[in-house]
Chains A and B, each alone.
Chain A
């Protein structure tokens, strides 16, 4: 029977702790793989802006620093391999940058494979495509590329599309690993597939062994958000040991698809049935049908048991064939926005803050600025969920953070707004303070357009950089 596979995660999103990977391999040198997730729903649109300014910047450049940080470990004989979606919109450029960095670090022998084919912008733009086959599912009734959330037709946004990427599965990653890759760099793949790929390659499972694939998918889902399964973001966070040093997670995955979730010894946080349950249902819809490109997974058969200190065993996943389509995450240009903040201190702080925020918007509108949406929030009053669970009476607060936001179809009125916050320092109520971070920034808005694409229109491709 093949040995269990140890797969860790060292990045939950683009912007997560840059030193996590080097620390992980120092704490746990016997890891088989470290995975890194860089791509949230709209991350690729951020890369698209970056690339518009600089054609070489279509990937998560922070990852190159991470590769450099691992060089001493590899030079000392470390064997851990890497799987990441840091390639973003340009996995090939990311791969070349890694190769340059590894050559400079005297590690030219490490093999880099790149997975492409997720970019389906041309197919989506190119219109109707092949209607998805079979079944009385939504995809069969709606026009191709209709919005999965709203059912709206693509024509509503087709002119403004910026990116369209299919969530590829584990197969092309496994191909790369079987051919000896040390680093596999992808664009958009389903987050758990970063973990399922190594399992496919290592255990030699068939692509139709859906229960095992389901188990590996669950393991991948559990570690893909980094420290979140080790007590980060948990309900009972306040009681965690050593919150300054919460460990990044690793999954020990077995040939039957079950796993033990744990973390390196001596790190902070905890891995308990509670932290694992919370992460299991994070961003989950129907727990009976968790759809990944590798399998349709049921969480309803899972068993979650404490198997030791900071060790939780997760078994019993069941799977079925995945959907006949890939999910596509597309983004489109949708105007501009900005947020400005000021602290207000003193009696009637909230009333004053609200007046001050409205005054800014009033002045701008009087000057001809046209906003499709504006918002005045008074942080400290339960603004995160305004109207709910607000047990604090506004009028009793002595301090609040005023946050004013605007959105418009064009840039100009949003730019005007960014210059209208600072004047409150002298024209607003006494006690207005905290203006130290300069003018707010104009942010482009990217609409999110989830849709489906027939698998036959997508060609996942694995290749090695020579």
Chain B
């Protein structure tokens, strides 16, 4: 198992009480892996401790990226949330820590 960050980079940001996390393959093979394995269900399960709602996924093949919309994940968002990360700035980094099986042991 390796952390996702070894094969991908990411960016997260907020919109109200939702956040998006875009995940980009570092290589075409990494993007193919993301496309097949990093599903909305996997991401939703991963962020469940933060209270996330139903996750939507968009494929962006021209950028070798998958973009996830995470509703209700910010504890109220913006000015309302009491959390240290009220704006989802840490979510991209958090997803990149996910352990993944990539390469020979697919």
Which residue of A42, A302, A391, A405 is within 8 Å of B79 (Cβ)? Answer: A42
Which residues of the other chain, B, contact A379 by a CB distance below 8 angstroms? Answer: 84
Tell which of B48, B61, B97 touches A389, judged by Cβ atoms closer than 8 Å. B97
Residue of A nearest to B63 (CB): A277
| Count of residues in B whose CB is under 8 Å from the partner chain | 45
Interface hub of B9, B11, B67 (most chain A Cβ within 10 A): B11
Which of the residues A303, A389, A445 comes within 8 Å of B94, measured between beta carbons? A389
* Given A299-B63, A304-B63, A377-B84: A388 touches B94 (CB 8 Å cut-off): yes
**Interfacial chain A residues near B89, Cβ < 8 Å:** 384
Contacts of A45 in B (CB 8 A): 79
Is the CB–CB distance between B22 and A278 below 8 Å?
A: yes
Q: Does A41 contact B (CB under 8 A)?
A: yes
Tell whether, in the assembled complex, residue A287 and residue B67 are in contact, meaning their CB atoms are under 8 Å apart. Answer: yes
Give which listed residue, B24, B96, B97, contacts A278 with CB less than 8 A: B24
B22-A281 in contact (CB<8A): yes
Shortest CB distance A227–B (Å): 14
Measured between alpha carbons, how far is A196 from B71 in the docked complex, in Å? 30
Bound-complex Cα distance A337 to B64 (A):
41
Distance of A41 Cα from B48 Cα, bound (Å): 26
- Say which residue of A373, A386, A388, A445 sits within 8 Å of B46 (CB atoms): A388
Contact check, B63 vs A281: say whether CB atoms are below 8 A apart.
Answer: yes
Verify A375–B82 contact, CB threshold 8 A: yes
Proximity string of chain A (136-163) to chain B, C-beta cutoff 8 Å, 1 when within and 0 when not: 0000000000000100000000000000
CA distance A182 to B17 in the complex (A): 38
Q: Is the CB of B16 within 8 A of A41?
A: yes
Q: How many A-B residue pairs have CB under 8 A?
A: 135
A304–B14 Cα distance when bound, in Å, is 24
- A contact residues around B47 at 8 Å (CB): 388
By a CB distance below 8 angstroms, the chain A residues around B77 are: 448
Among A149, A278, A389, A407, which residue has its beta carbon within 8 angstroms of that of B9? Answer: A278
Cα separation A282 to B19 with both chains bound (whole Å): 10
Chain B 66-106: CB-based contact to A (< 8 A → 1; otherwise 0): 01010100000111101111000111111011100000000
User: Are A287 and B58 in contact, with the CB atoms below 8 A?
Assistant: yes
**Contact among B9, B14, B82, B90 with A283 in the assembled complex (CB-CB below 8 Å):** B14
Q: B11 and A282: CB pair below 8 A?
A: yes
* A149 to B93 alpha-carbon distance, docked (Å): 25
Residue A54 CB within 8 A of the other chain: no
A100 in the interface, Cβ–Cβ < 8 Å?
no
A398 within 8 A of B: no
With a CB–CB cut-off of 8 A, which chain B residues contact A283?
13-15, 20
In the complex, which residues 376-428 of chain A have their Cβ closer than 8 Å to any Cβ of chain B? 377, 379, 383-389, 391, 403, 405-407
- Cβ A282 vs Cβ B13 within 8 A: yes
- The answer to whether A337 and B82 touch (CB under 8 A), given A274-B9, A284-B20, is yes
In the assembly, what is the distance between CA of A45 and CA of B92, in Å?
Answer: 28
- List residues 15-42 of chain B with CB under 8 A from any CB of chain A: 15-18, 20, 22, 24
**A375 nearest CB neighbor, chain B only:** B82
Given A282-B13, A446-B79: A299 and B60 within 8 A (CB)? yes
Contact of A307 with B by CB under 8 A: no
Q: Across the interface, do A281 and B67 meet the contact criterion of CB distance under 8 Å?
A: yes
In the assembled complex, the Cα of A407 lies from the Cα of B85 at a distance in Å of 16
Interface residues of A in 283-304 (CB under 8 A from B): 283-288, 299-304
| A278: nearest chain-B partner, CB-CB | B11
Smallest beta-carbon distance A442→chain B, Å: 13
If the complex has contacts A274-B24, A384-B90, A387-B49, are A445 and B58 also in contact, measured as CB distance less than 8 A?
no
Chain B: minimal CB distance from A378 (Å): 10
Question: Does A9 belong to the interface (CB within 8 Å)?
Answer: no
Q: How far is the CA of A303 from the CA of B62 in the complex (A)?
A: 7
Q: Tell me the nearest residue of chain B to A283, going by C-beta.
A: B13
Contacts of A286 in B (CB 8 A): 58
Contact residue among A42, A236, A274, A302 (Cβ-Cβ distance under 8 Å from B78): A42
Are B80 and A385 closer than 8 Å at their CB atoms?
no
Min CB–CB distance A280 → chain B (angstroms):
6
A283 to B91, CA, bound (A): 12
State how many angstroms separate the Cβ of A279 from the closest Cβ of chain B. 7
CA distance A445 to B75 in the complex (A): 13
Starting from the known contacts A283-B15, A385-B94, A406-B82, 15 additional A-B residue pairs (CB-CB under 8 Å) come to: A45-B79, A234-B11, A235-B10, A274-B24, A278-B22, A281-B60, A284-B13, A285-B15, A300-B60, A375-B83, A384-B84, A384-B85, A387-B48, A388-B46, A445-B79
The 5 A-B pairs at the shortest CB distance, nearest first, are namely A387-B49, A281-B22, A235-B9, A283-B13, A405-B82
Could you pull out 7 A-B pairs where Cβ atoms are within 8 angstroms? A278-B10, A281-B22, A281-B65, A304-B63, A373-B82, A387-B49, A406-B82
